[in-house]
Amino acid sequence: MPITEYLERNAREYGNDVCLVEVNPDIQEKRRVTWRDYELIEPDKTSHYRREITWSVFNEKANRFANHLIERGIRKGDKVAILLMNCLEWLPIYFGILKTGALAVPLNFRYDSDEIKYCVELAEVDVLVFGPEFIGRVERIADDIITNRLLYYVGDNCPSFADDYYKLVANCSSVTPDITLIDDDDAAIYFSSGTTGFPKAILHKHRSLMHSAKCEQMHHSQTRDDVFLCIPPLYHTGAKMHWFGSLISGGKAVLLKGVNPKTILETVSTEKCTIVWLLVPWAQDILEALDLGDVKLEDYDFSQWRLMHIGAQPVPQSLIKRWKEYFPEHQYDTNYGLSESIGPGCVHLGVENIHKVGAIGKAGYGWEVRIVDEAGNDVEQGGVGELIIKGPGVMTCYYNNEEATKEVLKDGWLYSGDMAQMDEDGFIYLVDRKKDVIISGGENLYPVQIEDFIRKYYKVKDVAVIGLPDKRLGEIATAIIEPVRGVDLTEEEINEFCKEMPRYKRPRKIIFADIPRNPTGKIEKPKLREIYHSSNLIDDQNKS
């Protein structure tokens, strides 16, 4: 069945329960008002801007937008793009699109004008819904994309080149539209992270969304009593598919705008969050703030907080060890996934397997996994190969890109591009991205393994290892290291610490600098290569 039926059920059975809360610490409000049919609640002592809606209001908002789109001629198979920061409007708009039978097309909020235009055209978008943060970017391309497309603005002071979303939907019917949806209908187009150029459009059917919801609920056992803290951007499959656990259980979720440690901990405490999904940098920042005394555990109530889980990138064992020192009662979990496999869950560690921290886990609920060589044959246990996955959440294709689809979909298996190995107990460990492997003097070096080792040093906050050109060895492993705030760290210290690694794995160049990460927490290695590639060539020329 389509995932929209869970929203209908929740509206019927839990209609007066609060389902979504938006918290924005950057806005101060001290009064209670009704705003666009959303309730602005008198804030607590933190004076954070806070809005909330119930399941019935959520469903009514989705129905109004769906009925408006249908009135404007949007039909099954059409595409509606969403370019919004996280907010209360985001998910009702998303479900309104699904209820029409059209495809929801979430866009990365970091896209510049050219990328927005590229994605809108690649996905053949019929409607673009955007917020105030994007007025300038959309205005620059409006004349190019507005032909046969509708532009809807969500916010105050609607620009002249767009239609006012609030005015258009205010008087539309809140009755569920009479549109039949089945599992095999197309549901959404997500975009790859675009780390190797412009992103690819990933097409998913309704069965993919449904399976991701079941997968999340099976893995983390959400109930109506759980409160999920959602910080990552909703345009990404990871955030939304984790929230699907709240949808399927009828539980509440909090959308937090802000990632500093104090804001996160305050929100967990005041909103009584039980499940928190963090990215590695945010968890590191919280631990650093606790170490330095910037925040103190005794200032908050965490008695209800049961689960902290991390995804989107490999998790250092040292991080979880430190986390358990501060939060010994927490369950911990990690999930692995790709946008091509509808986000997290195709590989799953499980809260009962914290002794295997460092692994991404085993095949998730309803999934199959293998590790194969270049010929597609299973590697021996302990050998390194490419992780491939199969299950109900695998994408249909890269939309309008048959060649790229054939490269990653083979006999029903999705080739992840991630190199991995399996231990004697069947747990999978990521080794690195296939394209990130460094070949130095004929040896294959896997940056993630080197990064995991260097992160163990107590003065290291974050590290990224990349290959840089070298006349003699072809490439050399280069470690870009971000030290813990307020400490002195030298190249000599790192080199001495790395002597515990085999000589061929040791980085041959050390650079101290900040580590750039994208909104989902992944290290932006192409950006690092671009920054340091030319400088390394200059160094080589000077040496010669």
Rounded CA separation 8/2 (Å): 11
What length does the chain have?
544
Cβ–Cβ contacts within 10 Å for residue 236, how many? 22
What is the greatest pairwise CA distance in the chain? 75
Contact criterion met (CB below 8 Å) for 81 and 10: no
pTM of the model: 0.82
Q: Any idea what DSSP says for residue 403? A: H
pLDDT at residue 438, rounded to an integer: 83
State the Cα–Cα distance between residues 293 and 56, nearest whole angstrom: 43
Residue 49 is predicted with a pLDDT of 84
CATH superfamily entry for domain 441-543 = ANL, C-terminal domain (3.30.300.30)
The pLDDT assigned to 534 comes to: 60
Taking a C-beta distance cutoff of 8 angstroms, is the pair 281, 249 a contact? Answer: no
* Domain ranges within the chain, ordered by starting residue: 4-220, 441-543
CA atoms within 13 A on the CB side of 482: 15
Fold of 4-220: Rossmann fold (3.40.50)
CA distance to 398, 417, 526, per residue, from 407 (Å): 10, 10, 21
Among 375, 530, 406, which Cα is nearest to 468's? 530
| pLDDT given for residue 239 in this prediction | 86
Q: What is the pLDDT of residue 197?
A: 58
- Return the axis-axis angle of helices 55-71 and 4-13, rounded to nearest 10°: 130
DSSP string, 253-272: EEEE---SHHHHHHHHHHTT
pLDDT at 192: 83
Per-residue pLDDT tens listing for the chain (544 residues): 899 999 999 999 999 999 999 998 876 544 333 334 444 444 444 455 899 999 999 999 999 999 999 999 999 999 999 999 999 999 999 999 999 999 999 998 888 898 899 999 999 999 999 999 999 999 999 998 888 889 999 999 999 999 999 999 999 999 999 999 999 999 999 998 654 457 899 999 999 999 999 999 999 999 999 999 999 899 988 888 899 999 999 999 999 988 899 999 999 999 999 999 988 878 888 999 999 999 999 999 999 999 999 876 667 788 888 999 999 999 999 988 889 999 888 999 999 998 898 899 999 999 999 999 999 999 999 998 999 999 999 999 999 999 999 999 999 999 998 889 999 999 999 886 777 778 776 667 878 888 888 988 989 998 999 888 887 677 889 999 999 888 899 999 999 999 988 787 899 999 999 888 876 667 888 788 888 876 554 455 444 4
